[in-house]
Amino acid sequence: MYSTQENISIYLRQKCPISTPSTPPSAPLSARAILPSVEHSDPEAWAPSAKWKLATGRSTQLHGAIAFDYVGYSKQGVPMRELCTRSTTALASMITRANEQVLAHTSISRIALRILWPGYEQLESTRTIEISAQGPITRAQLGAIVSQNFARFLERARSEQATPADWYFSPNGIRFKHLILLSLKNVFENTWQADVAIDFC
């Protein structure tokens, strides 16, 4: 088991108006610009130990991060609830380069999405995402699948207690509607992890 700080990037933030383009008409209020705020955690991404890599002899170049943003914004992210519930057509008009086939330039056919949340290490989850089952996956499709997997993870977490309680999923704590998908990062081989912001506004 690896420590929490090696497994997840989570950002606590609150909305603050800054000088940016106006909110897209098709986007909800949660698309408004925000600034980093009260707490910021940016740990190192998880990777197997050097001993494991020597034993397997496997080492591949990592792919660049895949960002998720509303049109007209940068590094703001998109609420996972929107990615889960909006149609592909709606997302195409809301998200920057929504229809871009983000992994079409690679030979990847599937990736492993690794989810681990502070206080819920016992629920560590790795899910396979098919990248080219029905043609190369788009940014919007990938964001929707990642968000759906986080929604399932939260369902499992409801029956568990978190330590520390700051990261507890509950009606009075962190809820799915608070999760913002910033990007998806390739941390090792075909393993990817999400950068997630928590927005309580």
The residues spanned by each domain of the chain are: 4-19+27-43+65-199
Alpha carbon distance 2, 108 (integer Å) = 26
Q: Is 176 exposed, middle or buried (0-12, 13-18, 19+ CB in 10 A)?
A: middle
Alpha carbon distance 201, 198 (integer Å) = 9
Helices (DSSP H) in the chain: which residue ranges?
Answer: 50-56, 80-85, 88-94, 139-157
The answer to whether the pTM exceeds 0.85 is no
DSSP 106: S
Pairing between β-strand 9-15 and β-strand 125-130 as defined by DSSP bridges: unpaired
Alpha carbon distance 195, 110 (integer Å) = 19
CA nearest 76: which of 148, 151, 180?
Answer: 180
As given in the structure block, the two tokens for residue 158 are 């409801």
Q: pLDDT in tens for each of the 201 residues of the chain?
A: 333 333 445 555 444 332 233 344 333 333 333 333 323 334 344 444 444 344 434 456 689 999 999 999 999 999 999 999 999 999 999 999 999 999 998 888 999 999 988 888 888 889 999 998 777 899 999 999 999 999 999 999 988 887 777 788 988 889 999 999 999 999 988 999 999 999 987
Instruction: Please check whether residue 76 is in contact with residue 183, taking contact to mean a CB–CB distance below 8 angstroms.
Output: no
